[in-house]
Amino acid sequence: MSNNIQSVRGMNDCLPDAADTWQAFEAIVRDWLRRYGYREMRTPILEHTGLFKRAIGEVTDIVEKEMYTFVDELNGESLALRPEGTASSVRAVIQHNLLYDGGKRLWYTGPMFRHERPQKGRYRQFHQVGVEALGFAGPDTDAELIVMCADLWRELDIAPTLQINTLGDYESRQRHRAKLIAYFEAHQDVLDEDAKRRLHSNPLRILDSKNPAMQALADNAPRLMDELDDEALAHFDAVQRLLRASGIAFEINPRLVRGLDYYNRTVFEWVTDQLGAQGTVCAGGRYDGLIGQLGGKPAPAAGFAMGIERLLALVEAGGRPLAVPAPDAYIVHAGEAAERFAWQVAAALRAAGLATVLHCGGGSFKSQMKKADASRARFALIIGDDEAVLLQVTLKPLRGTGEQTRIEVPLVIETLKNATI
Ligand code: HAM
């Protein structure tokens, strides 16, 4: 075991090959969001701890067990690395009064931090693309959020399945909560420690328990569905109608309660069985109370976030391979005049927008050509003193069956721009 410093457990490096794939994914995502009229917002990675306590809920796994929280020794403030992006988005929207002239469609991407037990698909630093539609009350927004996910899955050629549920509104949740507490109190002997602790503070969370010994108890618990009022039911019906009209298959899962407290009405998760235990690739729902709860003028909202690591794993498991960028040209050169000319050619190619790697460090043509191959470039540009004198370049396709040719620089640029390899 070496004593070299390693990365923090559960936090991964994104090496160049992986970063190529991430960039290709991000380009698809940016274009997809543009087509739906969403605009990017960037918020800080650190926030006041109180923001997440108030938004996500004091009695949730994230806030109780998973937040990276520390006291800023310079001023005594308690800060947290963001575990998710919704709270920060709402904080920023309130702080900058972004809803003053109506609803906003926003998205963000970046690292999130949760001190969970790392395993495949679950990391302590992971990345989300999050989408928030703020200021919109109708079921059309819920449905569109789901439809846009389906659109992205089609583009990535993956097929997670959709589960939806409704959590109703405040009053029905209070009624349900009272019934749940009475029910769980009557079955104290089956409750584990977590459940006992949450019995009075957040009984809904008990339904979310992964403890197999409590599954039957949770399955037979009073159902929120039975407490829903007409308005919430009509909202849920309308979401389903719109989904059917868009040809989106879904399953209603009454057990779907989500791990964050801010949700009401529609909640949804996109899940797959191709990734083992961590099969939720995207999740979200409506959170009509959060803006008011964080001190803003009350306004409805809904959104979702997808885990990039999990989505890319799913793409790798069978989706469409993402087109990763490669250099257009790798310039090899030997000789003094050739080197001078090679620099000029590289500058001309780059000015024309071509991705050009100029060989550094000398060596024989043979060893330089090996580097050119390894770079995955589409073409090698070979420059010896002969070529330099004539201001020409030998162009060698590194893929396909094309012939090597010796041509002037403007023609090189034209050929590279038009080449289909
Ligand atoms: P969430 O369900 O906590 O929701 O996370 C959303 C997604 O982030 C998950 O479905 C999963 O793909 C990914 N994810 C979560 N934790 C990890 C982890 N430890 N490692 C890898 N991936 C992970 C939210 O964060 C809400 N803010 C979503 C939302 C936005 N609701 C409304 N607007």
In this structure, the residue with its CA closest to atom 23 of ligand 1 is: 307
Tokens 């991430």 sit on residue: 22
To the nearest 10°, report the CA torsion of 186, 171, 85, 281.
60
The single-letter code of the amino acid at 108 is Y
Q: Which atom of ligand 1 is nearest to the CA of 85?
A: 27
How close is the Cα of 258 to the center of ligand 1, in Å?
10
Q: Decide if 130 contacts 107 (C-beta within 8 A).
A: yes
What is the token pair recorded at 391? 């201001």
> Average per-residue pLDDT in the chain?
95
Report the pLDDT value the prediction gives residue 178, as an integer from 0 to 100.
Answer: 94
Element (H, E) at 29: helix 16-35
Going across the sheet that includes 69-72, the strands are: 46-48, 77-81, 69-72
Residue 315, helix vs strand vs coil? helix
Distance from C-alpha of 9 to C-alpha of 181, rounded to nearest angstrom: 38
For the stretch 34-54, pLDDT in tens is 999 999 999 999 999 999 999
Q: Which atom of ligand 1 is nearest to the CA of 122?
A: 20
Exposure of 132 by Cβ count < 10 A (0-12 exposed, 13-18 middle, 19+ buried)? buried
Our answer on whether the CB atom of 281 is closer than 6 Å to any ligand 1 atom is yes
Tokens 């988005």 sit on residue: 89
Tokens 């010796």 sit on residue: 406
For the stretch 166-179, pLDDT in tens is 999 988 988 999 99
Distance from C-alpha of 32 to C-alpha of 248, rounded to nearest angstrom: 18
For the stretch 8-29, pLDDT in tens is 999 999 999 999 999 999 999 9
Our answer on whether the CB atom of 242 is closer than 6 Å to any ligand 1 atom is no
Select the more confidently predicted residue: 347 or 177.
347
| Residue 254: φ, ψ to 5° | -65, -15
Read off the pTM: 0.91
Distance from C-alpha of 206 to C-alpha of 192, rounded to nearest angstrom: 9
Our answer on whether the CB atom of 123 is closer than 6 Å to any ligand 1 atom is yes
How close is the Cα of 30 to the center of ligand 1, in Å?
19
In this structure, the residue with its CA closest to atom 2 of ligand 1 is: 283
By 3-state DSSP, what share of the chain in percent is helix, strand and coil, each rounded to 5?
40, 20, 35
Report the pLDDT value the prediction gives residue 1, as an integer from 0 to 100.
Answer: 53
What are the residues whose beta carbons fall under 8 Å from the beta carbon of 325, sequence distance 6 or more? 20, 23, 24, 355
Report the pLDDT value the prediction gives residue 2, as an integer from 0 to 100.
Answer: 64
In this structure, the residue with its CA closest to atom 10 of ligand 1 is: 282
Distance between terminal CA atoms of the chain?
45
What are the residues whose beta carbons fall under 8 Å from the beta carbon of 140, sequence distance 6 or more? 238, 242
Q: Which atom of ligand 1 is nearest to the CA of 116?
A: 19
Q: Say yes or no to pLDDT of 284 above 90.
A: yes
The model's confidence at residue 190, banded by pLDDT at 50, 70 and 90, is very high
How close is the Cα of 305 to the center of ligand 1, in Å?
6
Report the pLDDT value the prediction gives residue 70, as an integer from 0 to 100.
Answer: 98
Report the pLDDT value the prediction gives residue 259, as an integer from 0 to 100.
Answer: 86
Q: Which atom of ligand 1 is nearest to the CA of 287?
A: 32
Domains delineated in the chain:
16-169+229-317 (3.30.930.10), 329-416 (3.40.50.800)
Relative to beta strand 264-271, strand 301-307 is unpaired
How close is the Cα of 36 to the center of ligand 1, in Å?
21
Taking residues 187-191, what's their average pLDDT?
93
Q: At what angle do helices 139-156 and 308-316 cross, to 10 degrees?
A: 40
For the stretch 62-101, pLDDT in tens is 999 999 999 999 999 999 999 999 999 999 999 999 999 9
Distance from C-alpha of 370 to C-alpha of 46, rounded to nearest angstrom: 45
The single-letter code of the amino acid at 211 is N
| Residue 100: φ, ψ to 5° | -60, -30
Q: At what angle do helices 86-95 and 49-56 cross, to 10 degrees?
A: 110
What are the residues whose beta carbons fall under 8 Å from the beta carbon of 324, sequence distance 6 or more? 17, 20, 21, 23, 24
What is the token pair recorded at 373? 């191959």
